[in-house]
Homo-oligomer: A and B are copies of this chain.
């Protein structure tokens, strides 16, 4: 027993614990991502949470620098916690690309930190889960990025979704034709707000920040709003972009990427064209995309990214073009919760071995280890409480199966296997228990 004044157990504002009910789905999500990334040959890397401040700062503008956790360490160094996984990857690539060779495909998962306002369910520590291909400008790497996102969202079982793609050069070409090329950043920034603020506000912002006439703004919004068969939209764009070499290059690239996706087996409609997608970040130069869940369009994009010309220009003379995407881990977890896909079940084993009476713990663990070897998760109840109490715990915690043996069963080498989903009981010889359990679990 401890006495004395207690320190209040609490987390920092904007930080949170992951109890099992939230952590089991997060592990599932990250493991699914890992499996899909690996299948396509992406390799895992990790970088430190702390870096020299000069490595991290000045990459996202003064506004974003203010959010960075920065301090002086024991050795008087100016250090900071990473605020994303992209900037550390750029530093990593500059440092190691020569040794690793290119093209290089990597994935990385981990927490990042930003001292943001904590409204709207935003956290100051949240997980990112990125993958990128650097050192190639090939169509393959663009198409593959979409295939990875497709297969990942498919594997997560979140229902229907759409990956909406666009191309920066197509946007730039359209602006060029409208005489707004010099103001492209301002125009695209306004366009990016379309789903949030609506058409009129975007026209107003384009006038205010880019000096666009209403006709110019409307024309851009009309093209951005085109819907329908990608092939038809691309034909229309080809006409609109006549004379803009880079714009037409963008159209060709989009056509190739969509063709490869279709030929590789992606169902029509899963990947669509959406010219209203601009992506806020200034460094995208080619393909850009966002992904939305059919059932929860309101939560925004759950996986976004694009192609960039030069990942690590701040650290190296080697030009490293690439394409990549970032999975919104916490946003997807929130989506899974909203869709009721997070079973409240907080259990990692399939079966609970009950202690019928004290003094036979060795045989309980002996059984558990045999079940483990056969792929059945088996936990042993730690105390020889009344059997009814142990069964109650098994049900409450969400175990599917329970097994126990009284003196009669023990003498004959039998176990009683109880299916908690329908209360059925069967007597099974120890050597056959794993098979019986797997059958009950539908994994036979």
Q: Is A267 an interface residue (CB 8 A)?
A: no
CB within 8 Å for A7 and B315 given contacts A23-B45, A49-B125, A369-B265: yes
- Shortest C-beta distance, A116 to chain B (Å), equals 10
Q: Is A176 an interface residue (CB 8 A)?
A: no
Please determine whether A52 and B10 come into contact, CB atoms closer than 8 angstroms. Answer: yes
Please determine whether B12 and A50 come into contact, CB atoms closer than 8 angstroms. Answer: yes
Q: Fill in one digit per residue for A44-56: 1 if any B CB lies within 8 Å of its CB, else 0.
A: 1111111110110
Please determine whether A48 and B100 come into contact, CB atoms closer than 8 angstroms. Answer: no
Considering only residues 150-182 of chain A, those with a C-beta below 8 Å from chain B are 151
Taking CB as reference atom, which chain B residue is nearest A97?
B9
Q: Is A120 an interface residue (CB 8 A)?
A: no
Q: Fill in one digit per residue for A370-381: 1 if any B CB lies within 8 Å of its CB, else 0.
A: 101000011111
Q: Given the complex of chains A and B, what is the CA–CA distance between A345 and B360 in angstroms?
A: 46
Q: Is A317 an interface residue (CB 8 A)?
A: yes
CB within 8 Å for A147 and B365 given contacts A2-B317, A7-B55, A24-B44: yes
* A19 contact set on B, CB distance < 8 A: 45, 96, 99-100
Taking CB as reference atom, which chain B residue is nearest A37?
B348
Q: Is A299 an interface residue (CB 8 A)?
A: no
* A221 contact set on B, CB distance < 8 A: none
CB within 8 Å for A41 and B140 given contacts A2-B310, A12-B50, A125-B48: no
Please determine whether B264 and A49 come into contact, CB atoms closer than 8 angstroms. Answer: no
- Shortest C-beta distance, A271 to chain B (Å), equals 13
* A369 interface neighbour in B12, B51, B147, Cβ under 8 Å: B147
Q: Fill in one digit per residue for A76-98: 1 if any B CB lies within 8 Å of its CB, else 0.
A: 01010100000000011011100
Q: Given the complex of chains A and B, what is the CA–CA distance between A106 and B23 in angstroms?
A: 11
Please determine whether B362 and A263 come into contact, CB atoms closer than 8 angstroms. Answer: yes
Q: Fill in one digit per residue for A27-48: 1 if any B CB lies within 8 Å of its CB, else 0.
A: 1000000101111111111111
Q: Given the complex of chains A and B, what is the CA–CA distance between A312 and B6 in angstroms?
A: 10
Please determine whether A11 and B48 come into contact, CB atoms closer than 8 angstroms. Answer: yes
Please determine whether A382 and B7 come into contact, CB atoms closer than 8 angstroms. Answer: no
Please determine whether B34 and A17 come into contact, CB atoms closer than 8 angstroms. Answer: no
Q: Is A75 an interface residue (CB 8 A)?
A: yes
- Shortest C-beta distance, A135 to chain B (Å), equals 9
Taking CB as reference atom, which chain B residue is nearest A23?
B44
Q: Which stretch (A66-74, A285-293, A409-417, A433-441) binds chain B?
A: A66-74
Please determine whether A9 and B44 come into contact, CB atoms closer than 8 angstroms. Answer: no
* A96 interface neighbour in B17, B40, B51, B259, Cβ under 8 Å: B17
Please determine whether A319 and B362 come into contact, CB atoms closer than 8 angstroms. Answer: no
Please determine whether A50 and B113 come into contact, CB atoms closer than 8 angstroms. Answer: yes
- Shortest C-beta distance, A293 to chain B (Å), equals 21
Q: Is A443 an interface residue (CB 8 A)?
A: no
CB within 8 Å for A40 and B2 given contacts A12-B50, A372-B151: no
Please determine whether B20 and A365 come into contact, CB atoms closer than 8 angstroms. Answer: no
Please determine whether A9 and B144 come into contact, CB atoms closer than 8 angstroms. Answer: no
CB within 8 Å for A43 and B55 given contacts A111-B49, A382-B138: no
Q: Given the complex of chains A and B, what is the CA–CA distance between A26 and B41 in angstroms?
A: 17
Taking CB as reference atom, which chain B residue is nearest A380?
B140
Q: Is A133 an interface residue (CB 8 A)?
A: yes
Q: Fill in one digit per residue for A108-149: 1 if any B CB lies within 8 Å of its CB, else 0.
A: 000101010000000001000000010010111101100100
Please determine whether A74 and B319 come into contact, CB atoms closer than 8 angstroms. Answer: no
* A17 interface neighbour in B48, B314, B361, Cβ under 8 Å: B48
Given A18-B46, A20-B100, 15 additional A-B pairs, CB 8 A: A2-B310, A2-B317, A2-B319, A9-B94, A17-B48, A19-B45, A19-B100, A20-B44, A38-B348, A40-B379, A75-B115, A105-B379, A136-B383, A262-B362, A265-B366
Listed by A's residue number, 22 A-B pairs whose Cβ atoms lie within 8 Å are: A1-B317, A6-B315, A7-B315, A8-B315, A9-B312, A10-B55, A11-B51, A12-B50, A18-B46, A23-B46, A26-B44, A36-B372, A39-B377, A40-B349, A40-B368, A40-B372, A40-B379, A40-B380, A42-B348, A48-B125, A140-B361, A141-B382
